[in-house]
Amino acid sequence: MTATDPNRAPSPLQQDYQRFLLLGSRRAPHTVHVHETDYRSGTINTDALGLRYSHCAGKRFSVAERGSAARINLLVGGSTALGIGASSDEHTVASHLSMLTGEVWLSLAGCGLNASQELLMFLTHQHRLGQIGHVVVLSGVNSLAHEALSEVLGNQHDPQHAKAYQRFLNSFSEGLQPAAPPRRPSLWRRISQALVAPTPVETPATWPLSSPEKRMARAADLIGRTLRQWDRLLADSHATLTFILQPLLPWCRDSLPAGEQAMLDALERQPANFDRLLDGVFDSQLHSAFFRRIKSQADPVPCYDMNSMLSSSPVFGADLFIDRLHLNDLGNNALAKVITAKLGLAQEKHAQRKVSPVKLV
């Protein structure tokens, strides 16, 4: 899938994901049920726990259905790790990692989860996982967005804005686009509305946020603390833990392919609530400081920045992003190949194939 003309109607792929994300608003807030359970479509499918399937050697696997795999690996994170934007379950990062390494990679990812919630997800399902080989946490942006979200919710002192904030909460999901304009009401409906008193028009709530530097410092500290907790949890196992700061389009590229530029222009004309939570953070120097602080706080957990690594992919010049955060099939494949090369995963189990590592710059 490539970036589309912003004036065209949403493609079936986009509509599939929009329906999936909207159904997520029915989840119970006191559980770790992240998505609709047993969701079925041609694009995305989930198991009885609401977790997405990945594919390995012609079979599908999930946390609820890991089959007879003696050892599994985990891809943890938010919607990028989940694969929002992939044309099917076979084209997520977890599925590509499975194909490249010859081992099962399960998706332990949920839209909108910050670092603490990702860890809570693992604790909730740890008893279902068996022997774990690698844990790759592909994350970072949600924790940053949550810092702004906390400030938004902490400032709702005006009762007139209560409904606006509630609508905002209901729409907080990475990738969920602004609702389509409502259809023009029928003539009879317009006549009926003219006979009743007009309802006051709600104005959008203003979002007074602290500086991006402060929000990014708090998010980096949260991520670092959580990674050290992961490290302690996995200390008694033979699992390896790696953090990878997920790619964000403004952090990844100095110049954009034509398709991504058209997509970005459309997003700037009609930003989603999630985009507004990232206000001010797209500066490259702020991004570099953000990653350095994560790496410092997470020590001794290995940390890598996909925003500087993705350029090593031979397809980096193509359209890879469908919005600022999510990747198409080609982008997911490129990301998985860079992860595999960086961590030496392809050679680990398939040394006899003499796979040449990808040169990283």
Structural domains in the chain (count): 1
Whether residue 196 lies inside any domain: the answer is no
State mean pLDDT over 158-186. 54
Whether residue 333 lies inside any domain: the answer is yes
Contact between 324 and 267 under an 8 Å Cβ cutoff? The reply is yes
- Amino acid in position 171: S
pLDDT of 79 above 70:
yes
CA-to-CA distance for 321 and 170, rounded, in angstroms? 25
Whether residue 181 lies inside any domain: the answer is no
Residue tagged 């790790």 (tokens): 81
Whether residue 343 lies inside any domain: the answer is yes
Residue 273 is predicted with a pLDDT of 78
Contact between 290 and 220 under an 8 Å Cβ cutoff? The reply is yes
> In degrees, to the nearest 5, what angle opens at C-alpha 137 toward C-alphas 134 and 138?
125
Give the pLDDT band of residue 153 (cuts 50, 70, 90).
confident
118: CATH: 3.40.50.1110
Please state, as a whole number, how many other Cβ atoms lie within 10 Å of the Cβ of residue 296: 12
CA-to-CA distance for 108 and 354, rounded, in angstroms? 30
Whether residue 3 lies inside any domain: the answer is no
Higher pLDDT, 201 or 41: 41
3-state secondary structure at position 275: helix
* pLDDT tens column, 271-300: 877 888 899 999 999 999 999 999 999 999
Residue 176 has which token pair? 């969920």
Give the side-chain half-sphere CA count within 13 A for 132. 24
Residue 182 is predicted with a pLDDT of 46
* pLDDT tens column, 186-197: 555 554 555 544
- The model's pTM is 0.82
Residue 308 is predicted with a pLDDT of 97
Whether residue 200 lies inside any domain: the answer is no
Whole-number average pLDDT of the chain: 84
- Amino acid in position 288: S
Strands 59-61 and 303-305: unpaired
> In degrees, to the nearest 5, what angle opens at C-alpha 102 toward C-alphas 104 and 361?
105
Whether residue 199 lies inside any domain: the answer is no
State mean pLDDT over 74-101. 97
State the helix-helix crossing angle for 162-170 and 141-154, rounded to 10 degrees: 160
In which domain, by residue range, is 108 found?
12-175+206-353
Whether residue 192 lies inside any domain: the answer is no
What's the gap between Cα 216 and its chain centre? 17
3-state secondary structure at position 61: strand
